[in-house]
Structure 1
Amino acid sequence: MSAPSASALLQQQHEDIDFGVQGAMDGSSDQVELARSLELLRTHLYLEEAVLFPALEGSVGLSIMVMEREHGLMWPLMESLAQACREGAKLETMQDALDELFGLLQLHNPKEEQILYSVADDHAGLAEALAAAQVPEGWACKAVVRSRG
């Protein structure tokens, strides 16, 4: 069986992230599951910014700038929720941040899926590059790096 396409891999990550965040919102999961979803979100953002976006830049450059900006809006929520999970905070205390993150994901993900993922499979080797990529220690999304610099 062959590896999933780039668009299928990234779309599945969207679904898995949404499922984990929703589970934390409705109480059907716990901090461990939320932490896994947040780590997957970090990995997903890295795959997009380090692998997908450079491959698509010539065809959808303006859209990439918007996506990177939106990643920057999600980043502090993701970081604070991950910290709360590490500290063993109750999910009930995270509801505002979870609601905000989930809302951002619901606005962001369809744009990526319709604009970026629709052309991703036209790029030879992209699925393999996504599958092989590893998030470097301490990596932060571009919008966060720009705001620090």
Structure 2
Amino acid sequence: MEIESLAMALEREHREIDAGIEAFTAGGRDREPLARAVRALRRHIYLEEEFLFPALHAAGLMAPVLVMLREHGEMWATLDALDGEPEADAAIVLCRRLTVQLLHHNLKEEKILYPELDRVVPEPQGERLRAFLESGEMPAEWVCVRARK
């Protein structure tokens, strides 16, 4: 059995998050898939900012990392609005905004940053990251860098 690369695992998370948002916006109005997607996206942002971006930044990918941090802050604001459990029509509008944000953001990560992971993430940190991908939880009060007050 082939071991999934870090890039593949992170791309899989992108697809799972997108699917949760789509399940809500497709008309079912069941908020549970959306709630799972919001939690998963917050965890995914945590994983990137705490595990990946420092190594990518140190490897010289400063400009792309700064763009990703800015976009995380924008998405975090949308996630905060969704956490407020807006009425259905407002939630759909927020989900559409989040879908557009993710479309542009994920494409850049998958084409620019993720291909560099095997090169820049040292193996001990890679193992910690793989373990976190399997079962890790982000700290309850953690907030992305660009959303901190």
| TM-score (norm: length of structure 1) | 0.86
Identity %: 35
**Aligned 8 A contact 2:78 2:98 in 1:** yes
Alignment partner of 2:107: what SS?
helix
Residues of 1 paired with 2:40 and 2:4: CA distance? 17
Shift of 1:56: 1.1
Matched AA of 2:130: A
Alignment partner of 1:27: what SS?
helix
**Aligned 8 A contact 1:75 1:141 in 2:** yes
The answer for the alignment partner of 1:135 in structure 2 is: 138
Residues of 1 paired with 2:126 and 2:50: CA distance? 13
Matched AA of 2:19: F
| TM-score (norm: length of structure 2) | 0.86
Unaligned runs of 5+ in 1: none
Match runs of 1:11-90 below 5 Å = 11-28=11-28, 30-57=30-57, 58-84=59-85
The answer for the alignment partner of 1:118 in structure 2 is: 115
Residues of 1 paired with 2:96 and 2:7: CA distance? 26
**Aligned 8 A contact 2:29 2:88 in 1:** no
Residues of 2 paired with 1:108 and 1:116: CA distance? 11
Count of residue pairs brought into register by the alignment? 142
Shift of 1:59: 2.8
Change (3 A) 1:106 1:8: same
Residues of 2 paired with 1:111 and 1:93: CA distance? 28
Give the CA RMSD over aligned residues. 1.8
Shift of 1:128: 2.2
Unaligned runs of 5+ in 2: none
